[in-house]
Amino acid sequence: MSSTSGSGHGDDAGSVNSFHIGGSHPPVQVVSRELVSPASPSPSDPFFLSCFDIPWQDFHYNRRLLFYKNPSRQSARESYSDVHASSLVQSLKCSLSLCLVHYYCWSGRLSKGIDPPHRLFIDCNDAGVEFVEAFIDMPLSLFVQDGFQMKPVFNELCQTPDHRGDRLFSSPLLSIQVTLFSDGGLAVGVSQSHVVADGQALWDFMVSWGECSRSVSLSKPPSHDRQRLAVPNPSLEKAQRWVFFPDLSPDDEVTLREEAGREAMGPSKAVGKGTPSETKHSAPVDTQKRDRHIHEHEEVPDFIAGLKDDVVQWVFTLSASALKKLKSEAGEGFTSFEVMCAHFWQRFCLARNDLPGTCTSFFIPINCRTLLKPPLPPAYFGNVIGSRVVASVASKIREESLAAIASRIHSELAAFKREHMVESLMHWLETHENRIVPTLMSAPPRPPTKGLNVASSPWFPAYEVDFGWGKPDAVRAAKVPGEGEMILFGGRPGSIRGDLEICTALPQFVLQSLLQDPLFLGVSPCPSDSD
C-alpha cells in the first residue's frame, strides 16, 4: 500500500517529470468503424429534451475508459488472437444492439423543433451508435504496473466526436471504441453527448449493456418520461432566485479589499495556518500572469504536447482510512464527500500559493432526482443536475480549519436543498433559452478565480459494468478536459468500501507541491495485481 507520509509523496513527486516526458507508445490501429442500430425499430415520436438536457449542447462529450485485463480468459503466455478478438467484439456489438432497444435515444440525432421553434429534441431515426474496433501492439499489463496512472495513450482509446456548429445535428450521440491489446487485454472507450445523459444515467446504461451481454434481464430498466421536467409557464420571478456564482460573504469581501489594498502598497508573503512546517513554500507569485501563459496553449492541452503548457493528467487515490481520519479532524455534522472536498480545496490553495487578493472557488454538481416534487424514479434516464459554487478568498481557505471549510461546503449544499433551488434553476434555464455558456459569457466580468470542479460521483456504478468476464480492473477518464476538474470513481475490485480514485488535471507546479506535501492524503495508485 502506498504511504501517506512525506517520504512516500517525495517518491511520487519524482515520478511526475519522468511520466510527464515518457509518453511514447505504439499507434492505435483502427480495424473497423460502423454504426450499430437497435435490434428493433425505435418509437418515431420526437424525443423531448428538458431544461436540464439542452444546455449541454455547448459542452464537450464525456469520455470514459473501462479496462479489462483478460476478458478472453487467455493465459498470460498467449498472444493476441484474431479468433478471440472477433468473438469478443461481435459479442459486444450484438449486446449493444439489444441494449439500444431499451435506450433507443442514443441511436438518434439532435434536431431543432418548429413548435416551439428552435428547441432541441432527439430525432429517434435509428441513425446508429458509432462502434469502432481498434488494436494496439502493446500489453495492457504495462498499465497494470503503475495502477493505471493517467497516460497520453488513454486519449486515443476513446473517440472524440466533433459536435461544433452544424455537426451538432449529424454527430453520433454515443461512440464506443473497443481496443484490444497484444496480451489479450481490452479497453472499452465511451464518448457520450451530455445532452442525452448525466453521469448517473450513463453508468446505468453501461450496467444494462453488460446485462444484455450476459443475457440477463435489466435490473434497472430506464424511465424515459422527460416530460415530467417540462416547465409549461416559465416565470422570470421564480428565475430571479437563481444565481450561478454567489457573491462572497461580507467577511470575505472585507478580507479581499484589505488584501488588495495591502498588495497595492507592496509585496508581502502569505503563510497559511495549514502550511506544514516541513514544506517550504516560496513567496506568492503573480498567478494571473502565469495562468495566462498556461492558457495560451489550451489548443494543445495537457502533456500530449509535452511540457509546453505545464498541465498534467494524474490519478490520486484517497483511502477510506484517510477519509476517516479527515472526518475525525473535521468533527461531527459533515459527510465524507464534504470533508474530502474541503481537504483537496485547502491543499490545492496551499500548493498554488496565490497572491493576496485572489479569489478561489469549488464547483459541486448536485443530483436532483430526489429533490423534485414528486421525486423522479431512480431509473430516470436523462440529466437532472444542479450545482453550487462555493467561493472565498484563497488566503482564508489556506488558513481556516478543515471544519470551517467543510462548513462552507455543507452550508451551500444544504441551502440548495432547503430553499428548493431546483425549481428556480429550471425557471432560470427556460427563461434563458436553456443556454448557460452564452449567458455567462455575456455577464459582467468577475474577478479571476482558480479552483476545483467535481465532475462525477464515486457512487456511480462504474465498476459494476460486467460484460461476462467480470468487473473492470480500472475505470478512468480518457482525458480530464479542464484544469482543476476532479472525476471520482469508487468501488474498484479489491478496494475497501469508501476508497476513492480521483482523475484530475493540474498545473505541474501544483501537482509537484501536492505530492511533496506531507499533510496531503491523496497518493498515487498502487500497482494492480496481475494474473
| Alpha helices, DSSP H, located in 296-335 | 320-330
Which of 284-293, 407-416, 511-520 has the weakest average pLDDT? Answer: 284-293
Contacts of 241 (CB under 8 A, 6+ apart): 419, 421, 424
**What pLDDT, on the 0 to 100 scale, is given for residue 442?**
75
372 pLDDT higher than 90: yes
Q: Is residue 252 part of a domain?
A: yes
Query: What's the mean per-residue pLDDT of the chain?
Result: 87
Are 303 and 216 in a shared domain? no
Residues 42 and 186 in one domain: yes
Q: Which of 196, 213, 229 is the last residue of a domain?
A: 229
pLDDT digits (tens, 9 = 90+) for 283-323: 454 544 444 443 333 333 332 233 335 799 999 999 999 99
Residue 292 vs residue 422, higher pLDDT: 422
Take residue 371 and report the three cell numbers written for it: 429533490
| 480 vs 87: CA distance, rounded Å | 32
- Nearest alpha-carbon partner for 527 in 15, 144, 150, 67: 144
Report how far residue 314's alpha carbon sits from residue 317's, in angstroms, rounded to the nearest whole number. 10
Q: Is residue 132 part of a domain?
A: yes
> Where is pLDDT greater, at 16 or 291?
16
Least confident of 133-142, 257-266, 326-335: 257-266
In 3-state terms, the chain is what percent helix, strand and coil (to 5)?
Answer: 35, 20, 45
Residue ending a domain, choose from 229, 264, 292:
229
pLDDT of residue 138: 96
Shared-domain flag, residues 486 and 468: yes
Higher pLDDT, 149 or 84: 149
Query: Which pLDDT score is estimated for 265?
Result: 60
pLDDT tens digits for 132-147? 999 999 999 999 999 9
Does residue 527 belong to any structural domain of this protein?
no
Is the pLDDT at 363 greater than 60? The verdict is: yes
Mean pLDDT of 19-34: 78
Q: What is the DSSP letter of 501?
A: E
DSSP lists the bridge partners of residue 283 as none
Provide the pLDDT for residue 77. 46
Question: Do residues 371 and 247 share a domain?
Answer: yes
240 and 188 in a common domain:
no
Does 528 reside within a domain? Answer: no
Assign residue 310 a region (left: φ > 0; alpha: ψ between -120 and 50; beta: otherwise).
Answer: left
Alpha carbons 212 and 11: distance in angstroms, whole number: 44
Q: What percent of the chain has pLDDT over 90?
A: 73
pLDDT in the model for residue 83: 63
pLDDT tens digit sequence for 168-190? 999 999 999 999 999 999 999 99
Number of domains forming the structure of the chain: 2
Distance CA 365, CA 381 (A): 17
Type of residue found at 513: S
390 domain residue, yes or no: yes
Same domain flag for 214 and 295: no
Residues 438 and 488 in one domain: yes
Residue 19 has pLDDT above 50, yes or no: no
From edge to edge, which strands make up the β-sheet containing 28-36? 28-36, 129-136, 174-181, 186-192, 62-68, 474-477
CATH of the domain at 219: 3.30.559.10
One domain, residues 253 and 220:
no
State pLDDT tens for residues 493-513: 999 999 999 999 999 999 999
Residue 197 lies in a domain: yes
Q: What is residue 283's predicted lDDT score, i.e. its pLDDT? A: 47
Buried b (16+ CB within 10 A) or exposed e, 339-362: bbbbbbbbbbbbbbbbbbbbbbbb
522 located within any domain: no
Pick the more confident residue, 425 or 306.
425
> What pLDDT digit, counting tens, does each position of 432-469 carry?
999 888 877 777 777 778 899 999 999 999 999 999 99
**Domain membership flag for residue 530:** no
Q: How confident is the model at residue 80 (pLDDT cuts 50, 70, 90)?
A: low
pLDDT digits (tens, 9 = 90+) for 221-247: 999 999 999 999 999 999 999 988 888
371 and 495 in a common domain: yes
Per-residue pLDDT at 528 exceeds 90: no
Instruction: Give the model's pLDDT for residue 275.
Output: 40
Give me the domain span that covers residue 410. Answer: 236-273+284-516
More confident residue, 269 or 399: 399
373-385: pLDDT as tens digits:
999 999 999 999 9
In sign, the C-alpha dihedral spanning 106, 107, 109, 113 is negative
- CA distances for 417 relative to 114, 371, 423, 424, angstroms: 35, 7, 11, 12
Same structural domain for residues 94 and 169?
yes
Task: Count CB atoms within 10 A of the CB of residue 293.
Answer: 11
**Are 347 and 472 in a shared domain?**
yes
**For residue 202, pLDDT beyond 60:** yes
In whole angstroms, give the CA distance from residue 125 to residue 222: 19
Q: Within this chain, do residues 328 and 457 fall inside the same structural domain, yes or no?
A: yes
